[in-house]
Amino acid sequence: MPFKDYLRKRFFPHIWCPGCGHGIVLGCLLRAIEQLAIGKNDVVMVSGIGCSSRICGYVDFHTLHTLHGRALAFATGVKMSVPRLNVIVPMGDGDALAIGGNHFIHAARRNIAMTAIVMNNRTYGMTGGQYSPLSCHGDFATNAPYGNIDHDFDVVELARAAGATFVARSTTFHARQTTEIIRKAIAHPGFAVVEVLSQCPTYYGRKNKQGGAAEMMEWYRDNTTPVGSKAKQQNPTLIERGIFVQDAGKPEYCCEYKKLVERARRGAS
Ligand SMILES: Cc1ncc(C[n+]2csc(CCOP(=O)(O)OP(=O)(O)O)c2C)c(N)n1
Ligand code: SF4
């Protein structure tokens, strides 16, 4: 099915600002699903609240637009009820790692098969540009007019340490790579985390004098490098992108739960 048929056209025009990166992520996600030839009825998309979470409203899958920070908890319930479904959870950096941080690490720890996409614009876009746990030290935000004194999480390292079995990073500039990574993440039989650096020109870009959307995407081009490249050794400030973890060996949570139920039914301990 052409990816355009996955859209709920009646909900357009979308709410995103001109130049917002989230629409690029939506395009990559739909192309990935198209390449995997997954039918509309076999995808459940679950989101919280935020500009990024609005993706859920625009796709013609089964969708749940839930509470801020709680998308992974709802998604866990859906996946455990019907494990054959492809569960995809698009989240903002605030949604995933501030209010939703606990759900994030525990979903990773359990290795439940779903795809968590963290659309990292380093700010709370929907509520007016406050700093998030992914805003960098020294970044400016609506509520950090003298600079943010917190340090940011590294999503890749956090997901890896928490036990996620597929961990990757890309950017909206690298749309083809993002599509390919999301395709692999959806096909992965465990908890998959894909961080996508996604520009918010309206708040993060403006507050941090990064220019418009085009300049912000050029920054992604110039300040990232493929994982394991020599460029990173020469310039440690470069952000690596690519697949960092891909491990199909760890038991998946729904499979373990099914075995547990069978053991209980047999009366075995
Ligand atoms: C329980 C709760 N707390 C706070 C909010 C307000 N709120 C809505 S979206 C949001 C943050 C959005 O930022 P992010 O998740 O990074 O997504 P973005 O809008 O940047 O894509 C907040 C704090 C809420 N809706 N519910
Ligand atoms: S406020 Fe930022 S994140 Fe939200 S739609 Fe506008 S550009 Fe995108």
CA of 63 to the centre of ligand 2 (A): 21
Whether 75 is covered by a domain: the verdict is: yes
Q: What is the CATH number of the domain that holds 29?
A: 3.40.50.970
Whether 260 is covered by a domain: the verdict is: yes
Whether 174 is covered by a domain: the verdict is: yes
**In this predicted structure, what is the pLDDT of residue 3?**
83
Atom 20 (ligand 1): residue with closest C-alpha?
125
Whether 1 is covered by a domain: the verdict is: no
* pTM score of the predicted model: 0.97
Confidence of residue 248 (pLDDT cuts 50, 70, 90): very high
Q: How many CB atoms lie within 10 A of CB 231?
A: 12
Instruction: Print the domain residue range for 258.
Output: 7-266
The 3 state secondary structure assigned to 176-200 is HHHHHHHHHHHHCCCEEEEEEECCC
Q: What are the pLDDT digits (tens) for 138-165? A: 999 999 999 999 999 999 999 999 999 9
Confidence of residue 2 (pLDDT cuts 50, 70, 90): confident
**In this predicted structure, what is the pLDDT of residue 269?**
63
Task: Return the SS3 of 231.
Answer: helix
Whether 33 is covered by a domain: the verdict is: yes
Q: Residue 45's beta-bridge partner residues? A: 63, 88
The answer to whether residues 76 and 89 touch, using CB atoms and an 8 Å cutoff, is no
Query: What is the DSSP-derived secondary structure letter of residue 218?
Result: H
CA of 204 to the centre of ligand 2 (A): 9
Whether 2 is covered by a domain: the verdict is: no
- Number of domains present in the structure of the chain: 1
Q: Return the ligand 2 atom nearest residue 17 CA.
A: 6
The answer to whether residues 197 and 169 touch, using CB atoms and an 8 Å cutoff, is yes
Q: Return the ligand 2 atom nearest residue 92 CA.
A: 3
Confidence of residue 4 (pLDDT cuts 50, 70, 90): confident
pLDDT at 110 over 80: yes
Whether 61 is covered by a domain: the verdict is: yes
Q: Which residues form ligand 2's pocket by a CB distance below 6 Å?
A: 16-17, 20, 22, 51, 121, 125-126, 200-203
Whether 123 is covered by a domain: the verdict is: yes
Atom 3 (ligand 2): residue with closest C-alpha?
125
Q: What are the pLDDT digits (tens) for 47-103? A: 999 999 999 999 999 999 999 999 999 999 999 999 999 999 999 999 999 999 999
Query: What is the DSSP-derived secondary structure letter of residue 59?
Result: B
